[in-house]
Amino acid sequence: MRRSSTIAAVVFSGLFAVSASAQQWAMDMFKVTNHDFGSVARGAKAEFAFPVTNPYLEDVHVAGVRSSCNCTTPRIVKPDLKTYETGAIVAHINTDRFLGGKGATITVTFDKPYHAEVRLHVNAYIRSDVVFEPGSVNLGEVDQGKPSEQKVRVQYAGRNDWRIQEVRSDNPHLAGQIVEVSRGGGQVSYELAVHLDDDAPAGYVNDHLILVTNDNRMTQVPVAVEGRVVSGVTVSPARLFMGVVKPGEEVKKQLVVRGKKPFRIVSITCDDGSFKVDPSVGQEPKELHVVPITFVAGKDPGKVARTLQIETDLGAPAAELPAFVVISAE
């Protein structure tokens, strides 16, 4: 029998009698359930991360993943998700072992707080005539404020007139430059230089450049680019959940703010001042600061979500920290 309420309402009220056949609560954690890789080169790294976010007050556990096809290998990123935490299910296309059109259904199994399954779908066409060496561009760890460049060789075998006409990027901080190295006997070799500029924000780089060719059948070939821009300051936890509080209740949590060299905390602020910090904290130069954060709940029940801005004297852009709290109804 179909239940009349969602798991969000069930969990919030503390009632746990949920039909074993109910799956919608798990589906609601995914904003994306389908991905088409399009045309990819043989041996290229082709991965897509399906984000999964826990919007509930109960902990969520991803028990396992399986694929309907050996052409795709799935894996779990962060199987245990507390309230408002985000993990991912990553689908990896085995371009080194398969060719042609491939598709797979990935089944994600949850066993906490209830049993459920969600099915994700991926498709790709693996080309036999284009090869990347190496299979992706790995920028590694890049200090924020510094540029980085890596190169990859693009090999083609087939038409004598095949050409790469353009390199496109949807990331304003990422660009590629292509240079033809050799051509003859139906084989073409290019060198692709991938450049990350010095204005790239801190965080993970997980993107693609698109090689636009003169092949009308498959004009676009993606090149995976990955890396991490490392800020001079890191904050733990990466997302701050203050918990479930009653109206008028005060709650405190601690942040750990760490730098590569001694620094002072100039300020920690949020949009409306609902999350408060003692301004005297962090004034002594240290590589690590433990910062108490205080929140006093208002009268209105519901979720409160804010972004804390953490400014230091290191000259780097302010670090941003998402902060959440749930005010319960009395």
Checking if the pLDDT of 271 tops 70, the result is yes
Task: DSSP letter for 254, please.
Answer: E
CB 35 within 8 A of CB 91: yes
Q: Where are the domains of the chain?
A: 7-128, 136-230, 233-327
pTM check: above 0.85: no
CATH number of 233-327: 2.60.40.10
Which residues, 6 or more positions from 71, have their beta carbon under 8 angstroms from its beta carbon?
A: 93, 94, 97, 98, 102, 104, 124
Q: Would you state the pLDDT for residue 90?
A: 97
Q: Would you state the pLDDT for residue 18?
A: 43
CATH number of 136-230: 2.60.40.10
Q: Hey, what CATH topology would domain 7-128 get?
A: Immunoglobulin-like (2.60.40)
Q: What is the mean pLDDT of residues 206-232?
A: 91
Q: Would you state the pLDDT for residue 31?
A: 95
> Please, what sign has the CA dihedral across residues 107, 53, 6, 113?
positive
Q: What is the mean pLDDT of residues 154-169?
A: 94
| Fold agreement between 7-128 and 136-230 | yes
Q: What is the mean pLDDT of residues 188-213?
A: 93
